[in-house]
Amino acid sequence: MAGVWRCMLAVVVLMCVCLWGSTEAVGGAKSRPRPQRRPRKKPKVDPIDLTPPTQNIDIQQMTGIWYLLNTASKCSYLIKHGSKVEPTVMNLTFSAASDQTLSVTTKTRHGHQCWEILQVYHLTSTPGQLTLKGVRPELNTDIVIGDTDYSSYAIMFYQKLGKITVKLYGRSVDNLSEPLLTKFEQLAEKQGFGLAYVFPFPTYSHCGHVDQDHKINCVPAC
Ligand SMILES: *[C@@H]1O[C@H](CO)[C@@H](O)[C@H](O)[C@H]1NC(C)=O
Ligand SMILES: *[C@@H]1O[C@H](CO)[C@@H](O)[C@H](O)[C@H]1NC(C)=O
């Protein structure tokens, strides 16, 4: 029961934050009358297919703490609140239960409180490609570790419902180099994100301890 309540609380307090982006997009598309679809000129290319891992990712070396430094996305939540994004830090660990899943905890602030979002990424047969399962397969998030040196940065692609988000993570907050930022911006640009869709995250005031009742399961859209 406590678990259910926690979920409900999550829905009210944070899921809204997490899901508004996607539900709005889906609902909006549905309620509007659809213009007649023109025949496609060329077969649709799944954007994530354009961004395969550029190296043979050693997932073992990806574990540990990653600070979110930058996000490129057209997610409506970010577009509305991008100037007020909160410091966000992710901890990747292998699950005790299985070496085919990663436990992902993301700490962030919402309403002046620290929250810890718990997720599970499933490994796939392709190194560097992971899946965050949705309630239905079409709501899965495909995750690609596009580029990393394991020790200072990682660029990750997230794709859900045909929409892509590119995130730049750092092992620390204070040595993001200019060339790396440029590299990220160029990768984002390749996905159609001009600078207006690039949202830098704060590099200070990350959450430390999070109370048990602020640990929730949630699928962020951005
Ligand atoms: C990351 O998660 C692991 C497993 O839960 C934990 O042992 C470790 O202390 C965490 N690291 C930090 C810095 O919170
Ligand atoms: C950035 O800082 C981290 C931690 O202090 C260090 O391990 C890493 O080597 C540094 N990277 C660069 C490119 O200076």
The H or E element containing residue 146 is: strand 141-148
**Mean pLDDT value of segment 142-171:** 94
Report how far ligand 1's centroid is from the alpha carbon of 91 (Å).
6
Report how far ligand 1's centroid is from the alpha carbon of 101 (Å).
16
Distance, CA of 159 to CA of 144 (rounded, Å): 9
Q: Which of 69, 80, 104 is nearest to 183 (CA)?
A: 69
Number of H helices, E strands in the chain: 4, 10
Which of 76-85, 197-206, 209-218 ranks highest by mean pLDDT? 197-206
Neighbours of 23 (CB within 10 A): 14
What local confidence, expressed as pLDDT, does residue 80 receive? 85
Q: Looking at domain 47-208, which CATH architecture does it have?
A: Beta Barrel (2.40)
Question: Is the beta carbon of 93 within 6 A of some atom in ligand 1?
Answer: yes
Report how far ligand 2's centroid is from the alpha carbon of 38 (Å).
50
